Structure 1
């Protein structure tokens, strides 16, 4: 089947009422496979499943789906790691990666068969950043599910991969400085890391990507930062000589996904969704 072209149907669209892009679903492992259902099943958890309004599957794009060129939808996990001080870790994907290069995202990757969500998140966190969290040093919660295709808009060409990403919020009992000291990012996947403070994270979450044709968003140009945000944020870049402290304009993190032309360094649309869920807190009420 490698190289075959199939119509990728939106998973979110199966559960959404009318033309909505969000639905409440039950999800969990069943017989070692990740399952999404419109009805509860043993061991399942109710959460939000969402897609962007410009989702190529929603708009009828033909694509190669699944892992290794095989048709289908792959399950993935991403981890928003929050230090005791409230800073959250994001990583900038290496420019050599095929999917979403140079885009800021949480550590994450594919869910292996039979693997529990938290175990997968901890494994990906360790593989991409070198951070290993010991049992009892963190708490976690399910933030939501995100339907992701690449390329993310049809104007960039037909989709080549299709994922449902489970976002987990992990809160460490350790301070940021101690976690930072143990970072050893994988250079083949990560080009930089950043611990972002709550005001910046809230501004990123508020800058949601809309339909194709949306503008660059607040903060994309000089002097357009909302509120009292700092003009720049500190990051740690990977180089041939090791780590290097640097700073980037805060506006880069507030960019919207461009509808046309080459992609930009920005925070991914799915990450903005996860940060919005993280910002709402563990006691939020699920709603469509």
Structure 2
């Protein structure tokens, strides 16, 4: 989903924060976006957001071109639990990064399957995790344009105006490493999840794929039944949601290696893995993706069949 800048001189769009009647200020790396607007015990709230003078602005007041959206962080958000001493120990280079903005595209086919991609093991953040296509917004881009560009760069799929409908799902405060027990924060993002509805089947869409192996090591299309259980396998939850017992034992994926694409299967249980508290991460669906999938599942009842 998110990756390092392709060129050192590319200036990414950064989050700016504003409270009513206050001037927008650039969010600090060690500052929780959710915590800026609400009590420390809360992990979600409704905000107004949008691009404003080439920067991404999150505010508790409406502004020109803004959209209202849910902003959420995980209960174990490292920034939320960062002590003053830990924040002071962060390298100056890290503290000066600010908070970057990314866009992730939840692409739904005509048969209500959703595309997930497995990030390459060589990527510097969140390697080998299953996520929707996405990445950083570049200066001058609109949210949808950035998402479509990342979709094209990662999968080769080029969608034109009139080939889909779309809506904003929500915002997610993302930090890497994802838990403080696994190291001090190195990256801090707000991820904008967009839902794209295509009238084409997943087979038709896949015929136009030319994935970038440097970023994507595999991809799959998952149906609502499986995705509901994926979303229920919530990371850090004290009381996990019920997972369906009638899931297929394996999931069919397309794996990419040395320029070739091969269809294979992996255990469905891989997609139900949760984030470990310590040590090496495991192949799993990212926490932010599970959050977005829960919201996507809520949209299905509103979609025409």
Task: Give the equivalent residue in structure 2 for 1:49.
Answer: 71
Q: CA deviation at 1:254?
A: 0.8
Task: Give the equivalent residue in structure 2 for 1:3.
Answer: none
Q: Alpha carbons of 1:19 and 1:234: their partners in 2 closer, same or farther (altered >3 Å)?
A: same
Query: Matches of 1:69 and 1:250 in 2, distance apart?
Result: 39
Q: CA deviation at 1:205?
A: 1.1
Q: Residue 39 of structure 2: SS of its match in structure 1?
A: coil
- The structure 1 residue matched to 2:55, chosen from 33, 50, 70, is 33
Q: CA deviation at 1:70?
A: 3.9
1:210-249 counterparts in 2 under 5 A? 210=236, 226-249=244-267
- The structure 1 residue matched to 2:196, chosen from 170, 173, 181, is 170
Task: Give the equivalent residue in structure 2 for 1:89.
Answer: 115
| Preserved CA contact (<8 Å) 2:234 2:241 | no
Task: Give the equivalent residue in structure 2 for 1:152.
Answer: 178
- Alignment deviations for residues 250-271 of structure 1 (CA, whole Å, 9 cap, x no partner): 1110111111121000000000
Q: Alpha carbons of 1:65 and 1:227: their partners in 2 closer, same or farther (altered >3 Å)?
A: farther
Query: Matches of 1:253 and 1:87 in 2, distance apart?
Result: 15
| Preserved CA contact (<8 Å) 1:12 1:51 | yes
Task: Give the equivalent residue in structure 2 for 1:276.
Answer: 294
- The structure 2 residue matched to 1:251, chosen from 269, 288, 291, is 269
Q: Alpha carbons of 1:22 and 1:64: their partners in 2 closer, same or farther (altered >3 Å)?
A: farther
Q: CA deviation at 1:170?
A: 0.4
Q: Alpha carbons of 1:79 and 1:64: their partners in 2 closer, same or farther (altered >3 Å)?
A: farther
Moved >6 Å (runs of 4+): none
- Alignment deviations for residues 189-210 of structure 1 (CA, whole Å, 9 cap, x no partner): 0000000111011111111112
1:261 aligns with 2:287: no
Task: Give the equivalent residue in structure 2 for 1:222.
Answer: none
| Preserved CA contact (<8 Å) 2:102 2:190 | yes
Query: Matches of 1:91 and 1:109 in 2, distance apart?
Result: 13
1:72-221 counterparts in 2 under 5 A? 72-210=98-236
Gaps of 5+ in 1: 1-5, 220-224
Q: Residue 81 of structure 2: SS of its match in structure 1?
A: coil
Q: CA deviation at 1:283?
A: 8.3
| Preserved CA contact (<8 Å) 1:65 1:160 | no
| Preserved CA contact (<8 Å) 1:64 1:161 | no
Query: Matches of 2:91 and 2:134 in 1, distance apart?
Result: 21
Query: Matches of 2:91 and 2:146 in 1, distance apart?
Result: 25
Query: Matches of 1:71 and 1:254 in 2, distance apart?
Result: 33
TM-score scaled by structure 1?
0.88
Q: Alpha carbons of 1:177 and 1:102: their partners in 2 closer, same or farther (altered >3 Å)?
A: same
Q: CA deviation at 1:114?
A: 2.4
| Preserved CA contact (<8 Å) 1:29 1:114 | no
CA RMSD of aligned residues (A): 2.2
Query: Matches of 1:64 and 1:227 in 2, distance apart?
Result: 47
- Alignment deviations for residues 16-60 of structure 1 (CA, whole Å, 9 cap, x no partner): 235110011000111121110011111111110000011110001
- Alignment deviations for residues 49-102 of structure 1 (CA, whole Å, 9 cap, x no partner): 000011110001534699x88420001100000011100000000001110110
Report the count of equivalent residues.
Answer: 270
Gaps of 5+ in 2: 1-27
| Preserved CA contact (<8 Å) 2:29 2:97 | no
